[in-house]
Amino acid sequence: MIVDTHAHLDMEEYDGDRAEVIQRARDNGVDYILNIGCDLRSSLRSVELTEEYDFIYATAGVHPHDVKNINGTTYGELRKLLAHPKTLALGEIGLDYYKDFSPRDVQRQHFQKQVELAREMRKPIVVHCRDANDDIAAILSKYYPNNDGPPGIFHCFSGDEELARKALDMGFYISFAGTVTFKKAEALREVVKIVPGHRLFLETDCPYLAPLPHRGKRNEPSYVNLTAEKIAEIRGLTVEDVRRSTSQNFHELFGIGEGAKTGTITYRIRNSLYLNLTNRCTADCVFCTRLTHPVVQGHNLKLEREPTAEEVWRSIDDPKKYDEVVFCGYGEPTLRLNAIKEVARKIKDAGGRVRLNTNGHGNVINKRNILPELAGLVDEISVSLNADTSEAYDEICRPLPSYRNGIFDKVKEFIAEARKYVPEVQVTIVTQQSGVDERRCEEIVKDQFGVKYRPRRLDLVG
Ligand code: SF4
Ligand SMILES: [Zn+2]
Ligand SMILES: [Zn+2]
């Protein structure tokens, strides 16, 4: 499954073979297409397409190129189109200072007016921004100051990291088009890396911007798969991971399609199989969405109850099929030490490789040194340290009150002990947390423990 969140199938480029293009999209696994309005005529054509095809949805809005043609009846017409049940968003709207087809002050005026209409009608917006980063951010921050529900999508993102961060802070999703495949798009590919999986979309923006190897030719929705492949490569994931998470995002933003089911015990990311033992944790990290949005790469990890060791084992088809089987969960697995031991033994007996992801509280939780018990069962252990000082640790990981006393030193002890019993040990930190000196973290890990250090960007779980 995959979604093209930005297509212009109403355009005359498809007049000769529209039905074939749409069929090709279906044949290539495209589940939904969001057809985007640029003016009243194309918005109406988009709505008409939704009547013809059940898997096509529409938006309605006036593109910055066309705002110069807005007249006294435009907003009334726009309201009618937005009221259609298959019109999911208002857009595309925004600022385009690259082409400047409409005067800039007129662009800004109608961008604001349409944002106001979207807020009134409770519709997400689809934002078009070209060479107008500062003005777009300034206007949007007036309307979406504090991330109170997703305001919409930045489409065909071409801005820099700074704009991406501002958009993410406001709660926007960021959508990438075929431009990420272009040879000279190194800077854009860097931006792809910072967008969390639960805020990512893919699009074609067809008929424009065909991805490689079709660059320069007419684009079409089936090519969204080529962009998915590139995004997967950039993010170190599989195409399935990217398809799953972007489809889940489409469901979360618009309520279309099937959302991921809760109660997931095993889930696959890349060629690793993860085991979700618990949602409980002895910490409450500032960046953790375990309690608010327990969705990782499109897998919903909310558990109604914790699975038994037997249930966990039964949910693993064949441990040898995977590069590794990882005790992770959206919670702290060592709260269920017995289950880890029981299942890990079976995985090892079946020829699998075992990793344990932990916050390093295991010895405090179980009131003994648990590492000798893991010898021979766990091949690799990954401990999140996340800070270079005890104060920063408390502020970022926010351990439960009863775990707060000297816990940072206990985590470091855990790492030192792990080295004695587990062949591979790595220490991770989630990057870009305020109050953390990442260089110092790296020094501690390498000099003090002599183990692998892995800074990881938020949400690139695994
Ligand atoms: S240790 Fe892991 S599961 Fe626990 S709060 Fe932190 S990020 Fe979430
Ligand atoms: Zn656009
Ligand atoms: Zn467009």
Ligand 1 pocket test, candidate residues 275, 280, 290, 365, most atoms within 8 A of CB = 290
- Give 247-270 pLDDT, tens digit per residue: 999 999 999 998 999 999 999 999
Token pair for 105: 């002050």
pLDDT given for residue 437 in this prediction: 84
The distance from CA 156 to its chain's CA centroid, rounded to whole angstroms, is 16
Q: How far is the CA of 300 from the centre of ligand 1 (A)?
A: 16
Residue 462 has pLDDT above 50, yes or no: no
Q: Which ligand 1 atom is at minimum distance from the Cα of 384?
A: 1
Ligand nearest to the CA of 59: 3
- Give 152-175 pLDDT, tens digit per residue: 999 999 999 999 999 999 999 999
Query: Which residues have C-beta atoms less than 6 Å from ligand 1?
Result: 281, 283-285, 288, 290, 330-332, 359, 397
Residue of the CA atom closest to atom 2 of ligand 1: 331
- Give 215-258 pLDDT, tens digit per residue: 999 999 999 999 999 999 999 999 999 999 999 999 999 999 98
Residue 461 has pLDDT above 60, yes or no: no
Measured at the alpha carbon of residue 129, what is the angle toward residues 128 and 130, in degrees to the nearest 5? 125
156-162, long-range: CB < 8 A, 24+ apart: 156/6, 156/128, 156/203, 156/205, 156/209, 157/188, 157/191, 158/129, 158/130, 158/188, 159/129, 159/133, 159/191, 160/133, 160/187, 160/191, 161/190, 161/191, 161/194, 162/133
Q: What are phi and psi of 274, to 5 degrees?
A: -100, 145
Is cis: bond before 207, omega within 30 of 0? yes
Q: Which ligand 1 atom is at minimum distance from the Cα of 397?
A: 6
- Give 35-60 pLDDT, tens digit per residue: 999 999 999 999 999 999 999 999 99
Ligand 1 pocket test, candidate residues 276, 397, 410, 461, most atoms within 8 A of CB = 397
Q: How far is the CA of 208 from the centre of ligand 2 (A)?
A: 10
pLDDT given for residue 147 in this prediction: 67
Q: Compute the distance between CA of residue 356 and CA of residue 375 in angstroms, rounded to an integer.
A: 12
How do beta strands 30-35 and 424-430 pair? unpaired
- Give 203-212 pLDDT, tens digit per residue: 999 999 999 9
Average pLDDT score, the chain: 95
Sign, CA dihedral 36-39-42-46, equals positive
Is 104:71 a contact under the CB 8 Å cutoff? no
Residue 360 has pLDDT above 80, yes or no: yes
Q: What is the CA radius of gyration of the chain?
A: 24
Q: Which ligand 1 atom is at minimum distance from the Cα of 329?
A: 3
Q: How far is the CA of 4 from the centre of ligand 2 (A)?
A: 14
Residue 183 has pLDDT above 50, yes or no: yes
- Give 394-431 pLDDT, tens digit per residue: 999 999 999 998 999 999 999 999 999 999 999 998 88
Residue in the block written with tokens 């640790």: 393
Residue of the CA atom closest to atom 6 of ligand 1: 285
Q: Compute the distance between CA of residue 217 and CA of residue 458 in angstroms, rounded to an integer.
A: 36
pLDDT given for residue 95 in this prediction: 98
373 — pLDDT class (breaks 50, 70, 90): very high
Q: Compute the distance between CA of residue 91 and CA of residue 129 in angstroms, rounded to an integer.
A: 12
Is 418:425 a contact under the CB 8 Å cutoff? yes
Q: Compute the distance between CA of residue 425 and CA of residue 413 in angstroms, rounded to an integer.
A: 13
Q: Which ligand 1 atom is at minimum distance from the Cα of 282?
A: 4
Is 102:66 a contact under the CB 8 Å cutoff? yes
Residue 122 has pLDDT above 60, yes or no: yes
Of the given ranges (125-134, 193-202, 367-376, 431-440), which has the lowest mean pLDDT?
431-440
364 — pLDDT class (breaks 50, 70, 90): very high
Q: Compute the distance between CA of residue 295 and CA of residue 2 in angstroms, rounded to an integer.
A: 18
Residue 460 has pLDDT above 90, yes or no: no
Ligand 1 pocket test, candidate residues 274, 280, 285, 386, most atoms within 8 A of CB = 285
Q: How far is the CA of 286 from the centre of ligand 1 (A)?
A: 9
pLDDT given for residue 287 in this prediction: 87
Q: Compute the distance between CA of residue 65 and CA of residue 38 in angstroms, rounded to an integer.
A: 8
Helices (H) and strands (E) in the chain, counts: 16, 17
pLDDT given for residue 318 in this prediction: 96
Ligand nearest to the CA of 301: 1
Q: How far is the CA of 234 from the centre of ligand 3 (A)?
A: 24
Q: Average the pLDDT over 101-127 and give the result.
A: 97
Residue 433 has pLDDT above 80, yes or no: no
Q: How far is the CA of 140 from the centre of ligand 2 (A)?
A: 17
HSE toward the beta carbon, residue 350, CA cutoff 13 A: 19
Is 91:126 a contact under the CB 8 Å cutoff? yes
Residue of the CA atom closest to atom 7 of ligand 1: 288
Is cis: bond before 92, omega within 30 of 0? yes
Q: Compute the distance between CA of residue 449 and CA of residue 430 in angstroms, rounded to an integer.
A: 18
Ligand 1 pocket test, candidate residues 332, 429, 460, most atoms within 8 A of CB = 332
Q: Average the pLDDT over 179-192 and give the result.
A: 96
Domains observed in the chain: 2-254 (3.20.20.140), 266-456 (3.20.20.70)
Q: Compute the distance between CA of residue 455 and CA of residue 432 in angstroms, rounded to an integer.
A: 10
pLDDT given for residue 150 in this prediction: 76
Residue of the CA atom closest to atom 3 of ligand 1: 331
